[in-house]
């Protein structure tokens, strides 16, 4: 797959096969995150990679959104829950002042997309998750005070095949009667302005 094909066919995955993710695949994702563009090359992002079956449930308990919907609403059955996570942390001691956070969040986004695309290249599905309980997750994962959790990326081999479609009246995702997730995306001509707005 070309980078373009990867970028346009990737969809967020919330139901995963009951199959472990090899550490080598996760390490490739982490390395792609490490080398992502970052403001002033300050590299405030650090990562927790989780693939231990004993640690996974403690993360799942503390995330939210569609990945926690009941199965009849497109969420995972227990055996379809994520099989790995990469959690992006911001090391606050590397942020020179409070104004740096705005830049750090761009860094997180850049690293996250590298991770997500390299995961997809290796056959892995991902779902970025901002709905997490930071105060609960930090003790579960022994995260020290000088770190903030910026993003949780759920990972595993996909057990669903969501489809992108052209948005008409709404951009709200929906499930059909076979529980296929449909993801409406705005048309290029509706969002691109040529030369002047």
**11 binds ligand FMN, rule: CB under 6 A:** yes
**Least distance to ligand FMN from the beta carbon of 127, Å?**
5
Give the binding range for ligand FMN (CB under 6 A) out of 23-31, 62-70, 92-100, 117-125.
62-70
In this structure, what token pair is assigned to residue 63? 């995330």
Pair 197, 25: CB distance under 8 Å: no
> Which of 56, 59, 67, 141 contacts ligand FMN by CB under 6 A?
67
Site for ligand FMN in 157-176 (CB under 6 A): 162, 173
- Distance separating the N- and C-terminal Cα atoms of the chain: 34
Site for ligand FMN in 18-47 (CB under 6 A): none
Tokens 């490490």 correspond to 34
112 CB-near residues (< 8 Å, 6+ apart)? 33, 88, 128, 151, 153
**Least distance to ligand FMN from the beta carbon of 110, Å?**
12
CB of 4 or CB of 197, closer to ligand FMN: 4
CB of 3 or CB of 24, closer to ligand FMN: 3
Distance CA 5, CA 28 (A): 19
Site for ligand FMN in 76-135 (CB under 6 A): 127-131
Tell me the backbone φ, ψ of residue 63, rounded to 5 degrees: -115, 165
Return the closest-CA partner of residue 20 out of 50, 48, 59, 51: 51
User: CB 107: neighbour CB atoms within 10 A?
Assistant: 24
**66 binds ligand FMN, rule: CB under 6 A:** yes
**Least distance to ligand FMN from the beta carbon of 65, Å?**
2
In this structure, what token pair is assigned to residue 132? 């997490």
Residue nearest to ligand FMN (CB): 65
CB of 25 or CB of 82, closer to ligand FMN: 82
In this structure, what token pair is assigned to residue 168? 């008409």
CB of 128 or CB of 156, closer to ligand FMN: 128
- The DSSP element (H or E) to which 108 belongs, if any, is helix 100-121
**Least distance to ligand FMN from the beta carbon of 47, Å?**
17
The site for ligand FMN (CB under 6 A) is made up of 11-12, 14, 64-67, 127-131, 162, 173, 183
């Amino acid at each position: 797959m070309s980078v373009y094909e990867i970028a346009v066919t990737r969809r967020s995955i919330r139901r995963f096969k009951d199959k472990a993710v090899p550490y080598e695949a996760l390490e490739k994702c982490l390395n792609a995150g490490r080398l992502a563009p970052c403001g002033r090359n300050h590299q405030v992002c650090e990562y927790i990679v989780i693939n231990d079956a004993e640690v996974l449930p403690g993360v799942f308990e503390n995330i939210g959104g569609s990945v926690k919907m009941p199965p009849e609403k497109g969420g995972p059955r227990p055996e379809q829950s994520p099989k790995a996570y990469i959690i992006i942390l911001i090391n606050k001691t590397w942020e020179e002042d409070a104004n740096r956070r705005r830049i750090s969040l761009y860094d997180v986004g850049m690293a996250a997309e590298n991770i997500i695309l390299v995961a997809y290249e290796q056959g892995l599905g991902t779902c970025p998750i901002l709905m997490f309980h930071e105060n609960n997750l930090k003790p579960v994962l022994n995260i020290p005070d000088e770190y903030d959790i910026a993003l949780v990326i759920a990972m595993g081999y996909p057990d669903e095949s969501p489809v992108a479609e052209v948005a008409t009246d709404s951009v709200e995702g929906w499930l059909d009667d076979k529980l296929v997730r449909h993801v409406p995306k705005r048309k290029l001509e509706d969002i691109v302005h040529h030369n002047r707005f």
